[in-house]
Amino acid sequence: MSHLFPTYSKWEIEPESAKGSYLYSKDGGVYLDFTSGIGVCNLGHCHPEVKQSVEQQLNKFWHVSNLFPIELQEKAAELLTNASGLDLVFFANSGAEANEAAIKLARKATGKTKILTFMQSFHGRTFATMSATGQDKIKQGFGPMLDKFEYVPFNDLEALQQLLTEDVAAVMLEVVQGEGGIFVASKEFLQGVEALCKEKGVLLIIDEIQTGIGRTGKAFAFQHFGIKPDIISLAKGMANGIPTGAIVADGKLKEFFGPGSHGTTFGGNPLAMAAAVKTMEIIFQQSFLDDVQKKSEWIISVLKEKLVGNQLVKDIRGLGLMIGIELDMPVASILGELRKEGLMVLNAGEKVIRLLPSLNTLQEDFEKALEILEKNLNIHAKITI
Ligand SMILES: *Cc1c(COP(=O)(O)O)cnc(C)c1O
């Protein structure tokens, strides 16, 4: 009997080891992993350079607390600010904690309370981030939520304009809604959001927890759209599997997170920072990011070509290597079948297959995955005719 709370209905695969894009199970199974630990291991499992960086720090010290200056924190912060064009970093341990910091900072800096977020959004499981999330199923039984969050239809600038009143502290959004179903924001929408926020003195927070750290073929997804947020939040891909999170913010917000105003025991942990620095040094190279974009264009075009006549497939969309295949049926049983065929993928909502391969997945492994997907979806399409 399991002694764990059943908050996750677990898959049938028990991992024994993992390397690169492959996961090996205890019973001898070999799986091509297009989940990357839910968008975390962007450089694949057990990346040798990240491992070496953590090992070096393991031999020096593990934890000393944020009372001390820590060189690796400064290095990680420099990588983040250089890559984003923003100025100041606060390190947390997870996505929800990063969003908590963003929400606290926005309220304190503006002296206002209301935060606008979007329908189908996902921002985390703590009270503030659950309150920010635009999905009722996340909140059931946990009420009352934190006050002053309102939800706007995604990609609807007019609706936002109507709700963007004087008492709004911040607008918070995902450039690509991940858990909600891989919905990509339009350029006009995002540029409109930025302009409206500027006009009304409202802060723009972009939740880059899933889209950041190269996932979309830029260091951060907002960079596809010629906009500049005031705060971004990060976690998942930041240290390739060692838990960490962060916000990166505009320098004008410095005074609002002064000594004693916010904190965390583990945030900026040296082992996590060692992993984060190496991960970002590799991913933020322009040639690496260009390669992600090239792979993305190729995969999306091949998927469209292969699945064009498949009546089950309603849409193929995404940005970089965050790709959704929307079907005309629930995908849960299909994910199970794909695993039996050696391919692990995720869902996003009920009807979308979500692909989050590691960013350095080999061409031959992409081809293998596409073949398995095409075969399975074509069989399902024939069954339903
Ligand atoms: C995963 C995720 C979160 C929550 O991150 P945790 O580390 O699980 O707290 C928040 N926002 C987005 C967009 C995410 O994908």
Residue pLDDT, tens place only, 30-60: 999 999 999 999 999 999 999 999 999 999 9
Based on the fold, state whether residues 180 and 317 are members of the same structural domain.
Answer: no
Annotated binding site: 95-96, 122, 125, 207-210, 264-265
Residue 3 domain flag: no
Please state the atom number of ligand 1 nearest to the C-alpha of residue 174: 13
List, as residue ranges, the binding site for N(2)-acetyl-L-ornithine. 125, 264
Task: Give distance in angstroms: CA of 324 to centre of ligand 1.
Answer: 18
Both 243 and 230 in one domain: the answer is: yes
Task: Check if 100 has its Cβ closer than 6 Å to any atom of ligand 1.
Answer: no
Query: Tell me, what's the pLDDT at 118?
Result: 98
| Atom 5 in ligand 1: residue holding the nearest Cα | 95
pLDDT tens-digit readout, 270-305: 999 999 999 999 999 999 999 999 999 999 999 999
pLDDT bucket at 385, cuts 50 / 70 / 90: low
Tell me the CA–centroid distance for residue 120 and ligand 1, in Å. Answer: 13
Residues 303-324: tens digit of each pLDDT: 999 998 999 999 999 999 999 9
pLDDT of residue 86: 98
CA of 384 to the centre of ligand 1 (A): 35
Between the CA of 95 and the centroid of ligand 1 the distance, in Å, is: 4
pLDDT, residue 7, reads 97
Does 383 score more than 80 pLDDT? Answer: no
Q: Ligand 1 mean position to 358 CA, how many Å? A: 18
**In this structure, what CATH number is given to the domain that contains residue 19?**
3.90.1150.10
Structural domain for 359, as ranges: 15-47+286-383
Q: Cα dist. 222→145, 189, 210, 215 in Å?
A: 29, 12, 12, 12
* Per-residue confidence (pLDDT) for residue 372, from 0 to 100: 98
Binding-site residues for pyridoxal 5'-phosphate, please?
95-96, 122, 207-210, 265
Q: Is 83 in the pocket of ligand 1 (CB under 6 A)?
A: no
CATH number for the domain spanning 230: value is: 3.40.640.10
Q: Is residue 8 part of a domain?
A: no
- Name the residue with the closest Cα to ligand 1, atom 6: 95
Query: How many Å lie between the centroid of ligand 1 and the Cα of residue 122?
Result: 7
238 and 110 in a common domain: yes
**Does the CB atom of residue 95 touch ligand 1 within 6 A?**
yes
Rg (the chain; Cα; Å): 21
Q: For position 308, what pLDDT does the model report?
A: 87
What ligand 1 atom has the least distance to the C-alpha of 235? Answer: 7
**Backbone phi, psi, residue 59, to 5°:** -80, -10
| Matching residue, tokens 């583990």 | 266
- Does 122 sit in the ligand 1 pocket, CB within 6 Å? yes
pLDDT tens by residue, 123-132: 999 999 999 9
Query: Are 28 and 87 within one domain?
Result: no
Sign of CA dihedral 51, 52, 57, 59: positive
Position 209 in a domain:
yes
Q: Which residues contact 129 (CB under 8 A, 6 or more apart)?
A: 95, 96, 99, 100, 103, 123
- Residues of the chain with pLDDT > 70, as a percent, come to 99
pLDDT for the residue numbered 328? 96
Mean of pLDDT values over 5-15 = 96
Residues 260 and 137 in one domain: yes
Per-residue pLDDT, 288:
98
Residue 7 lies in a domain: no
Same domain as 274, residue 355: no
Under DSSP, the state recorded for 345 is: -
pLDDT band at 330 (very low <50, low <70, confident <90, very high): very high
| DSSP assignment of 215-243 | TTSSSSGGGGTT---SEEEE-GGGGTTS-
The pLDDT of residue 122: 98
pLDDT digits (tens, 9 = 90+) for 179-207: 999 999 999 999 999 999 999 999 999 99
Ligand 1 and 123: CB distance under 6 A? yes
pLDDT at 34: 98
Instruction: Report pLDDT digits (tens) over 151-171.
Output: 999 999 999 999 999 899 999
Gap from CA of 284 to ligand 1 centroid (Å): 21
Q: Is 124 in the pocket of ligand 1 (CB under 6 A)?
A: yes
Question: Does residue 247 sit in the same domain as residue 319?
Answer: no
Question: In this structure, are 231 and 361 located in the same domain?
Answer: no
| Residue 164 is assigned to a structural domain of this protein | yes
Q: Is 128:115 a contact under the CB 8 Å cutoff?
A: no
Q: What is the pLDDT of residue 114?
A: 98
Helix and strand element counts for the chain (H, E): 11, 17
Same domain, 85 and 215: yes
Q: Is residue 2 part of a domain?
A: no
328 within some domain: yes
* Residue 20 and residue 105 share a domain: no
Do 247 and 376 lie in one domain? The reply is no
For residue 384, pLDDT over 90 is answered with no
Query: What's the whole-number average pLDDT of the chain?
Result: 97
pLDDT band of residue 340 (cuts 50, 70, 90) is very high
**Are 148 and 175 part of one and the same domain?**
yes
Number of domains composing the chain: 2
Rounded average pLDDT over 128-146: 98
Predicted confidence at residue 310, as pLDDT, reads: 94
